């Protein structure tokens, strides 16, 4: 971890779990689409704070801002005037150098409103659903993890993200229509898997904007866990004012208010992701050894 970052925010960004000291990706370069067709469920917030927590323990992270609103870029303090090489360029065949952020190990390909035109331009492109996948090939090898912040729609930009991704991370707001929207997204993922990306899977569902005082929110959590089982992360992101105000300062909540409940929830989520990856790696290794024997 960067010494200045460590000194300011402590050495417990992902808790004291020893996994954070040695876990690696064994040479793989995972691409994860953070997706949900509903707006306002915490996709961008989850993307930038999860990226921050993972970069703080030495992971090399790239965020691809695939939403024309550019909120992930804004949330990391990238001014519109500084967004020279963008996701629009990436999708339309241009050469893109990711931008460094104020956070060590974390870079971003920013977005501008121009990206809204990419969906129209891609309609006539050959293999239009694979433009991002083709562009990400060389970029991904420089990072342990690429997080694609998807727009709140199941259009061509989200399709490109799902085709390019190894996994999908689904932020799900604790509200009445949560399961209905999740069902629609899972059907879309299934179609993408069948038609374009057989290896695509849902890495996890993150419950967001949880208010423990709200009976309905508690019922939604129970329903989602009953239906989706272990796919749902144990960590729940609470509704928290510090999380909401952090983007206005151009900072992830962990830099804005590290000890807030929201920041600590993302720290724990990152730790849980690391443990899941470690368990999956161990299981795959055991399978390989049994097969070789």
pLDDT for residue 19: 33
pLDDT for residue 292: 66
pLDDT for residue 24: 40
Which of 23 and 217 is assigned the larger pLDDT? 217
Q: Which of 194, 202, 266, 260 is nearest to 229 (CA)?
A: 202
Residue 71 has pLDDT above 70, yes or no: yes
Please give the torsion angle defined by the CA atoms of residues 191, 196, 202 and 203, in that order, rounded to the nearest 10 degrees.
180
How many CB atoms sit inside 10 A of residue 3's CB? 8
Q: What does the pLDDT look like over 115-147, one tens digit per residue? A: 988 888 888 788 899 999 999 887 889 999 999
Tell me which CATH code domain 29-279 carries.
3.40.50.300
| Nearest-angstrom CA–CA distance, 6 and 105 | 13
- Averaged confidence pLDDT in the chain: 86
Q: What does the pLDDT look like over 80-104, one tens digit per residue? A: 999 999 999 999 887 899 999 999 9
Helix (H, G, I), strand (E, B) or coil at 234: strand
Q: What does the pLDDT look like over 38-54, one tens digit per residue? A: 888 999 999 999 999 99
Helix (H, G, I), strand (E, B) or coil at 100: strand
Domain ranges of the chain: 29-279
Q: What does the pLDDT look like over 154-194, one tens digit per residue? A: 899 999 999 999 999 999 999 888 888 888 899 999 999 99
| Nearest-angstrom CA–CA distance, 259 and 50 | 15
Residue 7 has pLDDT above 60, yes or no: no
Q: What does the pLDDT look like over 237-270, one tens digit per residue? A: 999 999 999 999 999 998 999 999 999 999 999 9
């Amino acid at each position: 971890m960067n010494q200045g970052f460590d000194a300011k925010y402590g050495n417990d960004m992902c808790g004291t779990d020893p996994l954070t000291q040695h876990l690696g990706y064994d040479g793989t370069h995972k691409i994860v689409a953070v997706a949900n067709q509903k707006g306002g469920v915490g996709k961008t917030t989850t993307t930038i704070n999860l990226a921050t927590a993972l970069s703080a323990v030495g992971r090399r992270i790239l965020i691809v801002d695939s939403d024309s609103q550019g909120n992930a870029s804004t949330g990391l303090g990238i001014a519109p005037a500084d967004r020279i090489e963008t996701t629009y360029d990436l999708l339309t065949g241009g050469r893109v150098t990711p931008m460094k952020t104020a956070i060590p190990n974390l870079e971003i390909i920013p977005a501008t409103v121009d990206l809204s035109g990419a969906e129209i331009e891609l309609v006539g492109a050959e293999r239009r659903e694979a433009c991002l996948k083709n562009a990400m090939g060389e970029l991904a090898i420089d990072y342990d993890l690429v997080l694609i912040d998807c727009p709140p729609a199941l259009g061509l930009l989200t399709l490109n993200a799902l085709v390019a991704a190894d996994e999908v991370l689904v932020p799900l707001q604790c509200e009445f229509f949560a399961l209905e929207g999740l069902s629609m997204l899972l059907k879309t993922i299934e179609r993408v898997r069948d038609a374009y990306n057989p290896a695509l899977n849902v890495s996890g569902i993150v419950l967001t904007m949880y208010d423990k005082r709200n009976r309905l929110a508690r019922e939604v959590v129970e329903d989602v866990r009953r239906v989706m089982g272990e796919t749902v992360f144990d960590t729940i992101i609470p509704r928290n004012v510090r999380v909401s105000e952090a983007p206005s300062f151009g900072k992830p909540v962990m830099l804005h208010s590290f000890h807030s409940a929201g920041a600590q929830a993302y720290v724990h989520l990152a730790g849980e992701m690391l443990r899941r990856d470690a368990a999956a790696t161990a299981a795959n290794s055991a399978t390989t050894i049994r097969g070789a024997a």
